[in-house]
Structure formats: C-alpha cells, structure tokens
C-alpha cells in the first residue's frame, strides 16, 4: 500500500531526475564543440548520468526521509506542521533549481562539474558570495529561480492528490520505518559499492566524463576525497627503488647529497659565481596563460607592455605551470616540488617549517615578504607563508589612503605594487636585501579595475583583467626604475597557473604553458630561453643568478645551466603528468598509466597520439610523484 506521507519523497525524486537531465542537456549544448556527440557516446553519457543522478538524490533525501519516519501522526497531520512542511518542501525545490543554475555558471568558468574548487568556495563564503554579487545579475537570477520553483511546487501540490492525503493519513511508526528503510538502504549501497564516479571514466572524451557526472554527487565526492593517498590510488614501485631512481634524476654537477640516506634528498648546491645579494621581487600573476599574450601569438593586443618586456628580459618561452589553482603555483615555486595528488600542500594542515625558498633566502640574510592584494586567510596562504620564512602583508595592512580601488578579492594591482615599492624602500633604508613574493588578483572574476586605465571597460571579461594587469606591471616597473634599489633588483614575473583547465583530453598541455620573465637591465642580458622547464625550476634559477650556495630539498634546478633536465610536471587534483621529449605520461587514480606523443603544440591546441608508455618514462614519472608524496607523508620535506 502506498504511504501518502512519502509522496513528497517520490515526487521529489522525479523533480530531481528531470532537473538533472535538463541540466546535463544544457551543459551538453554549451559544450557540443568539445564533446563527443555520437549516438553511442551520448547514450553512455546519459545512462551513466541517470545512474549517478539517482545516487545523488538518494543522498540528498536522507535527512528528509528520517524526518518523515520519526515525526508522529499527531504532529505531522497538524495544520501548523502542514504549512511548515510545505514551506520546507518549497525551499528544497528552490535549492535544487538554484544548484542547477550554479552548475551552469561553474561549468562556464571551469568546464567541469562541481569539484575541489567548489568545496573551497563553500569554505570561503565571504569572497565567493561577493565575487558572485559583483559578477552576475543576482536579483534577476533569484527571481527567475523563484518563479520556476513556484511553478513546480504549484503543479506538484495542487495537481497531485497524494500531497493532499499526506496530512490526513494515519500510519504507524512500524510502517513508516519499513517504508523509510527502503529509501535509506539505497544511499548505503551506493556508498559501499559506488563511492567514486568511476563509471564516467569509460567515456574517452573528458567533456563527456564531466557531463556524465552529477553535480551534487561530485561535490560530496570532492569533499570526501580532497586528499588522495598515492599508494592507494596510483601505480607504485618499491620505495627503495623509487629513491634510488630519484638520486639519479636529481644528480647535477653542482649538487651533492648531504647524507647517504637515500630517503633524505637534502642537497648542497654550489654556484661558481660569487654571491651577489640582488634583491628579488617575484610577481606571481593571476591566470596569465601564454594563450593571452602576443609574444606567444595572440592577436588581440592584450599584453603590449609584457610583449615588449620580453625583448628586454631573460624570457623563458617554454615553461609550464604545475596545476590549475593559485596555491599550486605557490607550492611549486616556493617548495620546488612536483604536485602531489589531492589539494595543494599550501592548504593542508601540515604545511609549516618546510624546506622552502623563504628559509633559503632567510639564511642568506634577506628580508622576505609575501605581499597579497586580498585577505591571505583565503586558501590558507597567510599561514603557509608566515610559517615558511615570510612576513605577511595582506589587505589588512593597507590603509584607507593607500586604496584607490578594490573588489572582493582585494585592492587593484596598482595599489598592490605601490605597497610593494613602499616595503622595498623600507628594506633598502635598513640596508637589507629583500625577497618579495607578490601575488596579484585583478585578472580574476569579476574582472573589475579602475576606470580609464585601459581601452577595455571594467567588468567586461577576462581580456580586460589581463590587459589591466599588463598596464599595472608596466607602471610598476617605471616607478621602480626611479628607486635607488632598482639597479640591484631582479624582477621575476611568472603566472600562478593558466586561465582554465578544461579540454577534450586530460591535462591539455597547451593550457599549462605560462611565461617567465627575469628583468634586470643592469644584471642580466636579454635573451629568450626555449628550454623545456617547470615552475619548480624558478627559485633554483634565481639562486643561480645571485650566485648563492645553499642547502635545499628541491626537485627543480637552474634552467640556465647546461645540465638542466628538460621536463615539466603538470597535473590536476587527480591526474599527474610528466612531459619531456614530446611525450606526456599520465598517472591516474585507478592505478593506470597512459602515454601520448605530443604533436602540434600550439597557442590553443595540441594533438595527443596514444602509444604505450616507455619503461623509462613510466619509471621516472612514478619516481617523481611517488617520492614527493612519500616525503610529504613522512615529514621528509621539513627543515631539520
């Protein structure tokens, strides 16, 4: 016999499944050029999608089903409870439709269903809410969602007799428990046997994989699996073998391991040049992909100043970011470490007292600062830098008189650079060399910046964000040139990551290409360096230029040396790539290893030709990533 009380559950399942289907269909339409739209491919996408939609709704309804089971008839059938229950039912439908809209905007930004980024955004609600308010017509969207919710609610409540019966039916606790158990056993089974969305991996096209997912399910899965144990999820080698291999990979003429313990990668690095304590201002630019820049072939004129600067600098035109988030770039540069699976080390609890660039420069007598336009508690940045050799200067350190423009992410780049000059002046006045790690934010949604600075109006898209940052860097260098410390300063400009990570393939290589400049007219000779390199090589290259001898636990090396190892590490939270000799080898969390020949790497495209991984490439890829994960897990990266 049907229990009318549970009609809310059965009706909501229908609403959820229909909404999820329409969301998937809409996302498919927006991604039809990138997705595989063959009949069989789409049949797989939608059949797998329906399966995970059903899993998602079973989780979504757990609390509601328990509520329906425990509330006695006297309370449930009362008039006041009827209105409360219907109001809650309305809110649940509203949340579902709101989520569908949110997924569409998230897809537009990242080309993915909800993932680790969405989890982070749930944590940092202040920045996210204000970012959304500044980016989208929220009142209009909320009104549309309300109207759609009201229509769905009206149809289900007024046209469905079961809802009318729900508040008059007498049903014993035993019957309620039996019915509720049927609904509750479903999420338990999914949790035990289908915890991760592995079925989506059967879709070769990356966009099809994402389309086959369910947003709610992906969000919960990301929250639960935001750190991946390398040994559980990836193909491995014996640890002893891995570290023997690593010693061979890290060996250079100017480096010697400190101990014979193969699990200790501490190296003593010597440089033939005499030590010259040049100041270093390292500007990490938000989302500055090579694909936006004229020097790499972009025709839109977004980076006129940086394009000119390339001809006056040591310019590295074959460098790749390690990941797709700001904290990944920070991790790669400060720790000189390949990305480990899961979230960045910057965001993990055990991220203090690591063998970072901060401590290396500190031992050389430098004043180190992390200078950030926004609030550094976001993404745990303040904690990471303050516990790894840096003084933190963030939004709280800007006086009102020092702020000419700001949005939710922080002050504009011009104000940030003015603060950078102010702090450099302070160090120079104390006759102390300085190392400033400066993180910009203007090239970030909502892409707002001061008016009349460039020819692209504020709040009109990423192109404006890129061009404003280009303008602000040029203005900064012109102001710095007036300072007495300018001639003795290395200005290092590098992107944190690309402007997006979506692609038909896992790890689309062209998206990870970023610029690296070292500008110092009185110190370095302008030159374009086309050696393949990684973000993890930035600090060793800088230390080489200043002629420093130092001790470090780093995987990167000096790009300018003849024995530089040409390779790059790129990854997402799950996929780990190793690129060299026109081949990319990818480790996946199902313990598989794939290899592709890289052909026609261009501004916005690349061709991958699948072929079996060579034993050497597979061994070296596993060696690098497994050893990095081992060292972090066993405190092998800490300062002793």
Question: Domains (ranges, CATH) in the chain?
Answer: 4-224 (no CATH), 239-243+276-535+559-633 (3.40.720.10)
How far, in Å, CA of 588 to CA of 342, rounded?
12
How far, in Å, CA of 446 to CA of 451, rounded?
14
Phi, psi of 609 (to 5 degrees): -110, 110
| Residues 110, 112, 116, 122, CA torsion sign | positive
pLDDT single digits (tens) 555-591: 999 999 999 999 999 998 889 999 999 999 999 988 9
CA distances from 573 to 226, 331, 587, 600, 620 (A): 8, 14, 11, 26, 20
Per-residue pLDDT, 557:
95
Q: In what order do the strands lie in the sheet with 607-610?
A: 568-571, 576-580, 583-587, 593-599, 607-610
Strands (DSSP E) contained in 254-342 are: 255-257, 267-269, 279-285, 314-320
Work out the average pLDDT over 333-358. 94
At residue 227 the predicted structure's pLDDT band, cuts being 50, 70 and 90, is low
Average of per-residue pLDDT values in the chain: 90
Beta bridge partners of 607: 599
User: Is the pLDDT score of 317 beyond 50?
Assistant: yes
Work out the average pLDDT over 140-153. 92
Per-residue pLDDT, 113:
82
pLDDT single digits (tens) 467-484: 999 999 999 999 999 999
User: Is the pLDDT score of 124 beyond 60?
Assistant: no
User: Is the pLDDT score of 499 beyond 70?
Assistant: no
Work out the average pLDDT over 378-389. 95
Work out the average pLDDT over 21-45. 91
Work out the average pLDDT over 349-356. 93
CB 598, CB 584: distance < 8 Å: yes
Both tokens of residue 510? 């062209």
How far, in Å, CA of 75 to CA of 65, rounded?
16
CB 321, CB 311: distance < 8 Å: no
How far, in Å, CA of 291 to CA of 283, rounded?
19
Phi, psi of 264 (to 5 degrees): -105, 110
Beta bridge partners of 315: 517, 528
Task: Estimate to the nearest angstrom the gap between the alpha carbon of 81 and the chain centroid.
Answer: 44
How far, in Å, CA of 268 to CA of 266, rounded?
7
At residue 123 the predicted structure's pLDDT band, cuts being 50, 70 and 90, is low
Residue tagged 């000189």 (tokens): 336
Beta bridge partners of 255: 269
CB contact set of 158 (below 8 Å; sequence gap of 6+)? none
* Apex 459 CA angle, 457 and 463, nearest 5: 70
Do strands 527-529 and 406-407 pair parallel, antiparallel, or not at all (unpaired)? unpaired
Nearest Cα to 536, choosing from 275, 253, 335?
Answer: 335
Per-residue pLDDT, 363:
97
At residue 354 the predicted structure's pLDDT band, cuts being 50, 70 and 90, is very high
DSSP 338: P
> pTM value?
0.77
* Apex 266 CA angle, 264 and 269, nearest 5: 155
Beta bridge partners of 570: 577
Judge residue 403's burial from the number of C-beta atoms within 10 Å of its C-beta, 0-12 exposed, 13-18 middle, 19 or more buried.
middle
Work out the average pLDDT over 14-32. 92
Lowest mean pLDDT across 103-107, 121-125, 331-335, 403-407: 121-125
Phi, psi of 571 (to 5 degrees): -165, 170
At residue 418 the predicted structure's pLDDT band, cuts being 50, 70 and 90, is very high
Work out the average pLDDT over 242-248. 97
User: Is the pLDDT score of 102 beyond 70?
Assistant: yes
Work out the average pLDDT over 301-323. 97
How far, in Å, CA of 322 to CA of 534, rounded?
7
At residue 160 the predicted structure's pLDDT band, cuts being 50, 70 and 90, is low
String of DSSP letters for 211-277: HTS-HHHHHHHHHHTSB--HHHHS----HHHHHHHHHHHH--TTEEESSS-TT---EEE--SSPP--
Residues of the chain with pLDDT > 90, as a percent, come to 66
DSSP 400: G
CB 465, CB 447: distance < 8 Å: yes
Per-residue pLDDT, 423:
98
Residue tagged 């009185």 (tokens): 522
User: Is the pLDDT score of 157 beyond 80?
Assistant: no
């Amino acid at each position: 016999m049907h229990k009318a009380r549970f009609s809310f559950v059965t009706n909501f399942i229908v609403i959820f499944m229909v909404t999820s289907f329409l969301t998937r269909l809409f996302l498919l339409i927006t991604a039809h050029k990138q997705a595989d739209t063959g009949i069989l491919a789409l049949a797989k996408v939608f059949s797998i999608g329906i399966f995970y939609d059903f899993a998602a709704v079973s989780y979504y309804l757990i609390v509601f089903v328990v509520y329906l089971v425990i509330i006695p008839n006297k309370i449930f059938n009362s008039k006041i409870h009827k209105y409360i229950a219907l109001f809650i039912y309305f809110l649940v439908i509203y949340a579902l439709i709101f989520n569908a809209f949110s997924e569409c905007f998230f897809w537009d930004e990242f080309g993915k269903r909800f993932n680790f980024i969405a989890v982070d955004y749930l944590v940092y609600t202040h920045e996210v809410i204000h970012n959304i308010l500044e980016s989208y017509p929220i009142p209009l969207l909320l009104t549309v969602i309300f109207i759609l919710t009201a229509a769905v609610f009206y149809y289900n409540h007024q046209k469905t007799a079961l809802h009318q019966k729900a508040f008059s039916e007498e049903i014993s606790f035993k019957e309620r428990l039996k019915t509720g158990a049927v609904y509750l056993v479903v999420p338990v089974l999914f949790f035990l046997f289908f915890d991760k969305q592995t079925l989506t991996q059967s879709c070769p096209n990356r966009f099809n994989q994402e389309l086959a997912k369910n947003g709610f399910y992906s969000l919960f899965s990301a929250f639960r699996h935001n750190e991946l144990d390398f040994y559980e999820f990836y193909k491995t080698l014996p640890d002893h073998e891995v570290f023997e291999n690593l010693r061979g990979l890290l060996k250079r003429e100017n480096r010697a391991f400190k101990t014979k313990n193969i699990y200790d990668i501490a190296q003593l690095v010597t440089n033939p040049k005499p030590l010259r304590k040049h100041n270093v201002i390292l500007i990490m630019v938000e989302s500055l992909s090579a694909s936006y820049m004229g020097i790499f072939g972009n025709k839109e004129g977004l980076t006129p100043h940086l394009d000119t600067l390339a001809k006056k600098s040591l310019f590295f035109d074959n460098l790749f970011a390690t990941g797709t988030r700001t904290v990944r770039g920070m991790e790669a540069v400060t720790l000189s470490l390949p990305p480990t699976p899961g979230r960045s080390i910057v965001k993990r609890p055990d991220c203090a007292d690591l063998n970072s660039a901060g401590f290396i420069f500190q031992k050389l007598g430098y004043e180190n600062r992390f200078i950030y336009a926004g609030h550094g508690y976001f993404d745990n940045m303040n904690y990471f830098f303050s516990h790894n050799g840096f003084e933190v200067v963030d939004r709280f350190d800007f006086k009102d008189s020092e702020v000419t423009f700001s949005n939710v992410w922080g002050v504009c780049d011009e104000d940030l650079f003015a603060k950078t000059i102010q702090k450099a002046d302070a160090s120079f006045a104390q006759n102390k060399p300085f190392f400033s790690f400066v993180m910009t934010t203007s090239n970030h949604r909502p892409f707002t910046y001061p008016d009349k600075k460039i020819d692209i109006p504020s709040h009109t898209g990423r192109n404006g964000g890129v061009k404003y940052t280009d303008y602000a860097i040029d203005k900064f260098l012109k102001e710095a040139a007036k300072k007495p410390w300018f001639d003795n300063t290395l200005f290092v400009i590098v992107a944190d990551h690309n402007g997006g990570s979506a692609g038909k393939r896992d790890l689309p290589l062209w998206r990870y290409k970023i610029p690296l400049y070292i500008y110092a007219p009185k110190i370095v000779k302008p030159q374009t360096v086309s050696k393949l390199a990684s973000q993890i090589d930035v600090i060793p290259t800088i230390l080489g230029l200043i002629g420093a001898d130092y001790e470090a636990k780093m995987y990167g090396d000096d790009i300018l040396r003849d024995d530089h190892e040409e390779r790059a590490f790129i990854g997402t939270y799950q996929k780990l790539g190793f690129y060299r000799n026109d081949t990319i080898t990818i480790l996946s969390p199902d313990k598989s290893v794939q290899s592709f020949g890289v052909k026609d790497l261009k501004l916005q495209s690349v061709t991958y030709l699948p072929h079996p991984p060579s034993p050497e490439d597979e061994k070296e890829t596993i060696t690098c990533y497994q050893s990095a994960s081992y060292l972090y897990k066993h405190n092998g990266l800490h300062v002793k």
